[in-house]
A and B are shown apart, each in its own frame.
Chain A
């Protein structure tokens, strides 16, 4: 074996090892992105359950479409785009959580306002009843004299 042939052999082996390592790295990244997508998809289910008031269905739908988009991009091995979409999806999750909290707080506020309205009506009703009772009492006191 000549020196040149030996070098070619090293190169070929190196290329093969490199190719093998590159393929392994790509396969690892793909799996990682798939896990991220799956994790986020399962998070979507959690978010839908959290959104019992159905206040952020649009945002959840958008998130779901982005995850589908990421899934498609992953299949095309466009990993940078997948990461970009996943990054956006993560932020969208934060947004959805924040808006779910807002919706729950708004519902709580509405409930409070309803309670407030009810208690105000009770106060008004009781005040009126008290006034009527006081007038009745005065009349009875007069009758009792």
Chain B
């Protein structure tokens, strides 16, 4: 039994070994892996390349069968062919997919580029607007800055101008005050309005000091006050000054009159004051004969000289007073004396003397020039006296 069993077992093992499936060929394993890896898309691949897929399936099935039947060379060859067919089918499918994807991407890219172009256009437009706005804003800022700077410069110029104006005004006021003081000097206010004049001088000095310290307002105010004081001083001094001046002039004129009057030949001159009134009396004796009211011949030169004297001193009022001697009735003598004064009046008027300053009167035999006892004395009393009146 033992001797017969061993060969049987060996034979069974040999048969089993011969019947056992051989190891799967590497090519077939790769094919199966390829299928497994692409399992998901194989239905779609089959739609794209049905002939290739069918061939791959056929070759694959054959490879498996040949492997099972231990025909490994054929199995390898069919597995390789199946791989090639399957890979080719997958490649064709991938081509389509990629083409579609590229087309889709192209469409999307075109859309995106269109969107980009639109956005870029909008952006360019907006940027242009922004640039314009920026320019406008910058220009406006610059204008405002210029305006502010100009305003500052204008303010400074105005301040300088105001300062100069104030200075000029103050200087003008000071000049006016000086002029007012000069005017006050002309009426000798320093003498006749001492306090006001002194105040004006002080104010002017204060004004000049303020001007030196650039206190133009103070200088102007002091100058105005100085001018007012000087004007007041001038006004206050003027009457006194004029009075003094007139008095001085009158005195000189009176003195001249007193000097000139005696130079007329054939006349007698005397000063005959009556109270405040001064009287320069020019006596022309023997101008008339007895009762004759007319001027005796030969007195033209005297009348000419008297007329010239009257014209030389035109401001004096003059009395023409006729006289007679004392022989006759008083009323007649007065009428004759008045007629004699009138005759002289007419003679002087003929010589161009202004008649409104002449006053005519006749006093008859009053106030004899000399004694009437003698004939020569009486002749001398028939006269006209020309009286210059003054203070």
Chain A interfacial positions (CB closer than 8 Å to B): 84, 88, 91-92, 94-95, 98-99, 101-102, 105-106, 108-109, 112-113, 115-116, 119-120, 122-123, 126-127, 129-130, 133-134, 136-137, 140-141, 143-144
Q: Mark B108-121, 1 if CB is under 8 A from A, else 0.
A: 11001101100110
CB-contact partner of B119 in A94, A112, A123, A144, under 8 A:
A123
Which residue on chain B has the smallest CB distance to residue A99? B91
A84→B74 CA distance, assembly (Å): 10
* Residues of chain B with a CB closer than 8 A to A144's CB: 133, 136-137, 140
From A98, A123, A130, residue with most partner B Cβ within 10 Å? A98
Q: A91-B88, A119-B112, A123-B119 are in contact. Are A130 and B126 (CB under 8 A)?
A: yes
* Residues of chain A with a CB closer than 8 A to B175's CB: none
From B85, B119, B127, residue with most partner A Cβ within 10 Å? B119
Q: A108-B102, A144-B140 are in contact. Are A133 and B123 (CB under 8 A)?
A: yes
A99→B90 CA distance, assembly (Å): 9
- Asked if A98 and B92 make an inter-chain contact with CB atoms under 8 angstroms apart, the answer reads yes
Residue B87 at the chain A interface, CB threshold 8 Å? yes
CB-contact partner of B130 in A98, A106, A119, A137, under 8 A:
A137
- Asked if B91 and A102 make an inter-chain contact with CB atoms under 8 angstroms apart, the answer reads yes
| Interface of chain B, main secondary structure | helix
* Residues of chain B with a CB closer than 8 A to A105's CB: 94-95, 98-99, 102
- Asked if A126 and B116 make an inter-chain contact with CB atoms under 8 angstroms apart, the answer reads yes
- Asked if B120 and A112 make an inter-chain contact with CB atoms under 8 angstroms apart, the answer reads no
Closest chain-B Cβ to A31's Cβ sits at a distance in Å of: 25
* Residues of chain B with a CB closer than 8 A to A94's CB: 84, 88
Closest chain-A Cβ to B80's Cβ sits at a distance in Å of: 6
* Residues of chain A with a CB closer than 8 A to B95's CB: 98, 101-102, 105
Q: A112-B106, A137-B129 are in contact. Are A91 and B81 (CB under 8 A)?
A: yes
Q: A101-B95, A102-B94, A106-B98 are in contact. Are A113 and B133 (CB under 8 A)?
A: no
Chain B interfacial positions (CB closer than 8 Å to A): 77, 80-81, 84-85, 87-88, 91-92, 94-95, 98-99, 101-102, 105-106, 108-109, 112-113, 115-116, 119-120, 122-123, 126-127, 129-130, 133-134, 136-137, 140
* Residues of chain B with a CB closer than 8 A to A143's CB: 137
- Asked if B102 and A130 make an inter-chain contact with CB atoms under 8 angstroms apart, the answer reads no
* Residues of chain A with a CB closer than 8 A to B133's CB: 137, 140-141, 144
- Asked if B84 and A95 make an inter-chain contact with CB atoms under 8 angstroms apart, the answer reads yes
- Asked if A92 and B126 make an inter-chain contact with CB atoms under 8 angstroms apart, the answer reads no
Closest chain-A Cβ to B239's Cβ sits at a distance in Å of: 76
* Residues of chain B with a CB closer than 8 A to A119's CB: 109, 112-113, 116
Q: A105-B98, A119-B112, A140-B137 are in contact. Are A88 and B123 (CB under 8 A)?
A: no
A129→B134 CA distance, assembly (Å): 17
- Asked if A130 and B105 make an inter-chain contact with CB atoms under 8 angstroms apart, the answer reads no
CB-contact partner of A133 in B112, B127, B136, under 8 A:
B127
- Asked if B102 and A120 make an inter-chain contact with CB atoms under 8 angstroms apart, the answer reads no
A26→B80 CA distance, assembly (Å): 28
Q: A116-B112, A140-B133 are in contact. Are A134 and B126 (CB under 8 A)?
A: yes
* Residues of chain A with a CB closer than 8 A to B92's CB: 98
A112→B122 CA distance, assembly (Å): 26
A122→B95 CA distance, assembly (Å): 30
Q: A95-B88, A144-B137 are in contact. Are A112 and B126 (CB under 8 A)?
A: no
- Asked if B119 and A98 make an inter-chain contact with CB atoms under 8 angstroms apart, the answer reads no
- 9 A-B pairs with the lowest CB-CB distances in the bound complex, closest first: A98-B91, A105-B98, A140-B133, A112-B105, A126-B119, A133-B126, A119-B112, A95-B88, A91-B84
A36→B87 CA distance, assembly (Å): 24
- Asked if A140 and B134 make an inter-chain contact with CB atoms under 8 angstroms apart, the answer reads yes
* Residues of chain B with a CB closer than 8 A to A123's CB: 112, 115-116, 119
- Asked if B81 and A88 make an inter-chain contact with CB atoms under 8 angstroms apart, the answer reads yes
* Residues of chain A with a CB closer than 8 A to B116's CB: 119, 122-123, 126
Closest chain-B Cβ to A101's Cβ sits at a distance in Å of: 6
Closest chain-A Cβ to B305's Cβ sits at a distance in Å of: 104
Closest chain-B Cβ to A80's Cβ sits at a distance in Å of: 11
Closest chain-A Cβ to B321's Cβ sits at a distance in Å of: 106
* Residues of chain A with a CB closer than 8 A to B136's CB: 140, 144
A109→B95 CA distance, assembly (Å): 11
Which residue on chain B has the smallest CB distance to residue A105? B98
A54→B227 CA distance, assembly (Å): 117
